[in-house]
Amino acid sequence: MKVYDTQSNNAIRSVMKHTQFPSQFRVPYDQSFRVDTASTAPSGEIDSDKQLKKQLSRANDKLYELQRMLYAHNKYSVLLVFQAMDAAGKDSTIRTVMRGVNPAGCQVFSFKQPSSEELDHDFLWRSARRLPERGRIGIFNRSHYEEVLVVRVHPEYLGAQRLIGDVDTDEFWDSRLKSIRDSETHLANNGTVILKFWLNVSKEEQKRRFMERLDNPKKNWKFSSSDVAERQHWDAYMDCYESMLNATSIEHAPWYAIPADNKPYARLQIANTIIETISSLDMNYPKPDPRNLERFDEWRAQLEAE
């Protein structure tokens, strides 16, 4: 396993010094993470689904208040990246975790098969166009990381990218991973707080969810033949995930390996991670101009006199 230099520079430490990234489920920065030992289900006794949902509802309220302050403070942006195998629950997790957040301060983008326009640019171009502005939360449902996951499992897709030089070599993939690290370093150095979530669903649970999509008429629309086809590459995907997570979980853009077999539990852990991280930022509501503040009583009196 290649060892990467993941130490951030002093400028990043200065910009991000107020950001505290929670440690639970965080992929280590020392390239020691192993997919085959990562938990897909909660360890030990946990609350009931009903209790977990109540806790998530309270977390939604807290996240709503934090998003308002983030928007008003207007210095930081937050980027949430979600990656997972099919049926891991990305869509429903984004929907339930962000429930109640003001849509004006939140943007969600899904990245599917690249368009011809996107293929005419470098592989990071289409995600760079969707980055959140200061004061906003941006969410990537899949992302630029597809380029070191699905494309690495299916290197034939590289043909459409019309690349120069050797492709599908260790050096090629190392270069792509380095480009991602460098881009996230740049974002962090400019005030973007990056949280990346891998929803770690087991192969057995994925099968159960696929069967439910086939058996439940209301979920038939979710099923695709490609789901079964991609499942045949499970081991290759796990190898790519392990390489990606180890190479790109860095101190200013950590990955979190979230046990995803229990959806209510996974959603609550993600919500708490987001809340704890944003809460650590040095933010406040802007104070009015002192010259305006002196006239508040005057304006109040004018309004009351109407």
Report which DSSP code applies to 289. P
Each residue's pLDDT tens digit, 147-183: 999 999 999 999 999 999 999 999 999 999 999 999 9
Alpha helices in 134-190 (DSSP H): 150-153, 170-189
pLDDT string in tens for the chain (306-residue length): 454 444 444 544 544 556 889 899 999 999 999 999 999 999 889 999 999 999 999 999 999 999 999 999 999 999 999 999 999 999 999 999 999 899 999 999 999 999 999 999 999 999 999 999 999 999 999 999 999 999 999 999 999 999 999 999 999 999 999 999 999 999 999 999 999 999 999 999 999 999 999 999 999 998 988 888 999 999 999 999 999 999 999 999 999 999 999 999 999 999 999 999 999 999 999 888 888 888 898 899 999 999
Q: How many Cα atoms within 13 Å fall on the side-chain side of residue 48?
A: 2
| Class of CATH domain 10-304 | alpha beta
The structure tokens 């449902």 sit at 141
* pLDDT recorded at residue 17: 56
The structure tokens 């704890």 sit at 276
Cβ within 8 Å of residue 203, ≥6 positions away:
231, 234
How long is the chain? 306
Strand partners, 199: 84, 258
Q: What are phi and psi for residue 138, nearest 5 degrees?
A: -105, 140
Interhelix angle 49-73/90-97, rounded to 10 degrees, is: 70
Domain ranges of the chain: 10-304
* pLDDT recorded at residue 187: 97
The helix/strand/coil state of 140 is strand
